[in-house]
Structure 1
Amino acid sequence: MVEAGKAAVYRRYCSDRSYSSAEASAKVAGLGIWSKPGDHQRP
């Protein structure tokens, strides 16, 4: 879900770096929740 841009990583409870990497890739590609600036708020 994170890789597809359908979820954000809640870093407070997730220490697995692969999720952060997947989130960064989704942001760069503008996928899902990252497709429009300002549409997403961090958890």
Structure 2
Amino acid sequence: MVLIPSSGGAFEIVVNHQLLYSKLSTGVFPSSSEIIKRMEA
């Protein structure tokens, strides 16, 4: 896992070069359960 600092409210989760979640696209910070569900899928 790599944490890349950013600014401007960017929060994205990428696993194996695949974007699982983007706060920039949704405008909402995800819940822990939502992140886990997407990682399991």
TM-score (norm 1): 0.31
Q: Which has the higher helix share?
A: 1
TM-score (norm 2): 0.32
Answer with 1 or 2: which has the greater Rg.
2
Q: Which has the higher strand share?
A: 2
